[in-house]
């Protein structure tokens, strides 16, 4: 009897598994319960989508000719059911409401390998025949109609896009105080499933206000510091966008590690929703020691080591104070060694609100002794104090104004270069007004795949501010990111910089000129090697003949196609074009340099580490060849 009971248990387990597999429409065999290398994926029954398109949806992959390491996949019921869901979802959002997919796994003679067979019964495609909406309030009907137009008559029925549009309509009404708005969508599919009529009904509810607001979780911070970041108060017309923007402002204050703003609705009475703000504070005092690799404007590959002590919430007021020391090294610098080109010590203080306005003012004192010039064989001491005022103009735009007082003492100049720096040695004091305007619509700061970044930069040096030099500097940079064919990103950048001296100024300091060439501008050339160079025409610069002297006008364009390859690796093909000149009047098309190359990236939590190689294509009188480059983050 005992043996019979055991056999009955095994039979029941077997039948249970069989029923589960039948429901999932996934045919399994023993290999599906272990890891296996996928030899091939065969797809049949598809006509609307080609095989490549369907395979691109799957998380299981066939090995390609360039695959070095053949990865084993775990082929369980759950994994295969997920693949089926991916295929069905692709068809559903294109109107195939009754698609039916089955997946089977076949063991090969070599047990390490398996073949996957996918059979698709597409069914009938449903096309939208008619779209109507009713209800709502008159003042929002035009805006609602614009959103309803996104449901296109004659296009495949897509339940996901319709759900997104109804969600946007509800958000629209909540923006204007209708916190209890309901958007009901009904779909009538014809008996032959070839067409569908869609009716969107809007029930706005009553127009309401914000109810009581409570802030919880504060220990170090005074209550008014958190409440002033909220863009609403009790009695204001309800607006869900103000809740989202307040959430972002609380995070950007730097005081909190967790922020939650939760409305409490009363659907029966439609009373004003009460708001609960829950916060988790960061500790005010902090001390960090860190290192990081990157690159600056004039060096290819750098390493920074820093120590920082600060308080981000002085006396619970949100004010910030910090002292720091940073040592910067150029990797493979002079003599192909780790070269320490800069040490910087600074003290900073930030007042987050000025005149009852969220407009942080930062004051910073900096001392950088024995700083090595990136382009010349001399060092200088740099003393500066900066006042920076920043203002968010919108959710995506920011304006930053800076007044900088800088004193530079150039020293340790070799005897044979004294004449060349005769005028440079008089440059002891610079006073700068800087304005930076940025609009950032990228979907990801480290690895963007969509959106754009626009930056304007303006400097006014000297003039009515005083100082030893007078010039203006203007720059604009525009970067665009577009996703195509699912995994490819088309990235482009256009950059223009211009500088002009005025008044009695005859020369512009090397540190303020533009330089080009290298990992962050035109790859294929060594760092800062493009543009005007010192010549023997000027006796004062005879000792510097051949050194780059920088320019006052530059043009740069970069185009990249980026895509992921395997694991954490990505690849890039690119082309760079541009150059720089002494002044805009010197621009000639034949001076432009064009390079092209390939790169590989390894993605880390702090962004991609990249290695690029570019070769010179249009090079004028430059020698043929190319250059390897290493860097942190994408070039733009």
Q: What is the pLDDT of residue 538?
A: 55
pLDDT band at 543 (very low <50, low <70, confident <90, very high): low
- Given a cut of 60, whether residue 487 has pLDDT beyond it is yes
pLDDT band at 569 (very low <50, low <70, confident <90, very high): very high
Q: Give mean pLDDT, residues 214-233.
A: 96
Residue 571 neighbours by CB under 8 Å, 6+ apart:
562, 563, 565, 598, 599, 600, 601
pLDDT band at 123 (very low <50, low <70, confident <90, very high): very high
Beta-strand pair 113-121/100-107: antiparallel
Top mean pLDDT of 300-309, 338-347, 597-606 is at 597-606
Residue-wise pLDDT tens digits, 441-460: 999 999 999 999 999 999 99
What is the average pLDDT score of the chain? 87
- Other Cβ atoms within 10 Å of 139 Cβ, number: 8
Residue-wise pLDDT tens digits, 412-440: 665 555 445 545 445 568 899 999 999 99
User: What is the per-residue DSSP string for 504-531?
Assistant: T-----GGGSB---STTSSTTS-TT-SS
Burial of 64 (0-12, 13-18, 19+ CB in 10 A): exposed
- Given a cut of 50, whether residue 93 has pLDDT beyond it is yes
> Which residue in the block uniquely carries the two structure tokens 């070269």?
339
- pTM, entire model: 0.76
Reported as type and span, the H/E element at residue 144 is helix 141-148
Q: What percentage of the chain exceeds 70 in pLDDT? A: 86
- Given a cut of 90, whether residue 259 has pLDDT beyond it is yes
Q: What is the pLDDT of residue 295?
A: 56
Residue 495 neighbours by CB under 8 Å, 6+ apart:
475, 476, 477, 478, 554, 555, 556, 557, 578
> Maximum CA pair distance of the chain?
111
Residue 373 neighbours by CB under 8 Å, 6+ apart:
379, 380, 510, 511
d(CA 467, CA 501): 13
d(CA 485, CA 444): 19
- Given a cut of 70, whether residue 540 has pLDDT beyond it is no
Q: What is the pLDDT of residue 421?
A: 53
């Amino acid at each position: 009897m005992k043996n019979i009971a055991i056999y009955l248990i095994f039979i029941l387990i077997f039948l249970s598994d069989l029923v589960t597999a039948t429901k999932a429409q996934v045919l399994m065999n023993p290999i599906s319960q272990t890891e296996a290398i996928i030899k091939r994926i065969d797809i049949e029954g598809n006509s609307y989508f080609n095989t490549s398109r369907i395979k691109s949806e799957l998380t299981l992959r066939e090995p390609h000719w360039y695959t070095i390491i053949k990865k084993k996949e775990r082929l369980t019921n759950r994994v295969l059911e997920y693949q089926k869901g991916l295929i069905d979802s692709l068809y559903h959002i294109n109107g195939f409401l009754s698609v039916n997919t089955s997946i089977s796994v076949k063991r090969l003679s070599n047990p390490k390998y398996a073949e996957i067979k996918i059979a698709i019964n597409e069914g009938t495609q449903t096309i939208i025949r008619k779209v109507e909406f009713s209800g709502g309030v008159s003042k929002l009907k035009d805006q609602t109609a614009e959103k309803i137009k996104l449901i296109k008559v004659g296009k495949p029925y897509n339940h996901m896009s319709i759900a997104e549009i109804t969600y946007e309509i509800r958000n629209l009404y909540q923006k204007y105080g209708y916190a209890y708005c309901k958007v009901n969508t009904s779909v009538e599919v014809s008996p032959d499933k070839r067409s569908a009529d869609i009716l969107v009904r809007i029930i706005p509810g009553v127009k309401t206000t914000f109810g009581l607001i409570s802030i919880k979780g504060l220990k170090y911070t005074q209550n008014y510091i958190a409440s002033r970041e909220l863009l609403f108060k009790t009695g204001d017309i309800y607006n869900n966008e103000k809740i989202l923007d307040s959430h972002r402002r609380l995070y950007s204050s730097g005081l909190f590690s967790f922020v939650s703003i939760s409305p409490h609705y009363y659907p029966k009475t439609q009373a004003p929703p009460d708001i609960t703000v829950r916060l988790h504070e960061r500790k005010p005092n902090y001390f960090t020691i860190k290192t990081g690799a990157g690159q600056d404007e004039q060096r290819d590959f750098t390493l920074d080591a820093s120590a920082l002590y600060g308080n981000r919430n002085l006396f619970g007021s949100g004010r910030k104070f910090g002292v720091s020391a940073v040592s910067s090294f150029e990797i493979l610098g002079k003599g192909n060694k780790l070269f320490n080109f800069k040490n910087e010590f600074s003290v900073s203080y930030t007042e987050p609100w000025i005149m009852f306005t969220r407009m942080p003012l930062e004051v910073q004192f900096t001392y950088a002794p024995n700083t090595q010039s990136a382009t010349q064989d001399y060092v200088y001491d740099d003393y500066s104090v900066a006042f920076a005022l920043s203002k968010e103009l919108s959710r995506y735009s920011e304006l930053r104004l800076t007044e900088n007082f800088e004193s530079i003492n150039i020293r340790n100049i070799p005897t044979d270069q004294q004449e060349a720096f005769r005028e440079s040695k008089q440059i002891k004091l610079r006073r700068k007004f800087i304005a930076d305007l940025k609009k950032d619509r990228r979907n990801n700061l480290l690895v963007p795949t969509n959106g754009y970044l626009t930056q304007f930069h303006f400097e006014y040096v000297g003039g009515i501010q005083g100082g030893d030099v007078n010039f203006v500097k203007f720059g604009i940079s525009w970067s665009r990111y577009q996703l195509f064919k699912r995994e490819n990103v088309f990235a482009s950048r256009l950059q223009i910089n211009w500088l002009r001296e005025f008044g009695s100024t005859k020369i512009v300091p090397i540190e303020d000129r533009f330089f080009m060439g290298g990992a962050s501008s035109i790859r294929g050339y060594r760092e800062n090697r493009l543009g005007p160079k010192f010549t023997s025409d000027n006796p004062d610069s005879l000792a510097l003949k051949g050194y780059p002297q920088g320019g006052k006008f530059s043009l740069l364009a970069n185009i990249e196609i980026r895509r992921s390859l395997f694991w954490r690796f990505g690849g890039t093909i690119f082309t760079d074009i541009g150059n720089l000149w002494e002044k805009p009047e010197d621009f000639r098309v034949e001076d432009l340099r064009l390079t092209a190359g390939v790169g590989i990236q390894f993605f880390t939590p702090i962004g991609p580490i990249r290695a690029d190689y570019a070769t010179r294509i249009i090079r004028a009188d430059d020698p043929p060849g190319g250059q390897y480059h290493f860097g942190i983050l994408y070039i733009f």
